[in-house]
Amino acid sequence: MNPQHSTKDTGAWILFTWISFIVANTMMILGIYHAPVDMWVKGFFLMGLLFTIGSTFTLSKTIRDNAEAQSYVNRVVEAKNEQLMNNYEMRQI
């Protein structure tokens, strides 16, 4: 059976992703705040931003969960195949 390679993100990458997330949202909020439009339009833009952030987290979690489930299924299938091959080899001896 092939060993499963697990990737762990570096501290620098994690820091970069958090900083980029915070900077992007801060800039968007400042842009909404300084936009020359009525307050209700700013509220609509802010609501859209918040829903976009929430949907992004939900989508990334769903993709991760599906990848983990597929990885689990692949490990089970590989284990069954390995067991079948071992049983076949034992009968040949």
Cα radius of gyration (the chain): 24
Q: Three-state secondary structure along the chain?
A: CCCCCCCCCCHHHHHHHHHHHHHHHHHHHHHHHHCCCCHHHHHHHHHHHHHHHHHHHHHHHHHHHHHHHHHHHHHHHHHHHHHHHHHHHHHHC
Q: What is the pLDDT of residues 3-16, one digit of tens each?
A: 555 678 899 999 99
Question: Domain-by-domain residue ranges, the chain?
Answer: 11-92
Reading the block at residue 28, the tokens are: 């968007």
Q: What is the pLDDT of residues 21-42, one digit of tens each?
A: 999 999 999 999 999 999 999 9
pLDDT confidence of residue 93 = 66
Predicted confidence (pLDDT) at residue 1 exceeds the cutoff of 50 = no
Q: Which residue has the higher pLDDT, 47 or 88?
A: 47
Q: What is the pLDDT of residues 38-56, one digit of tens each?
A: 999 999 999 999 999 999 9
Predicted confidence (pLDDT) at residue 65 exceeds the cutoff of 70 = yes
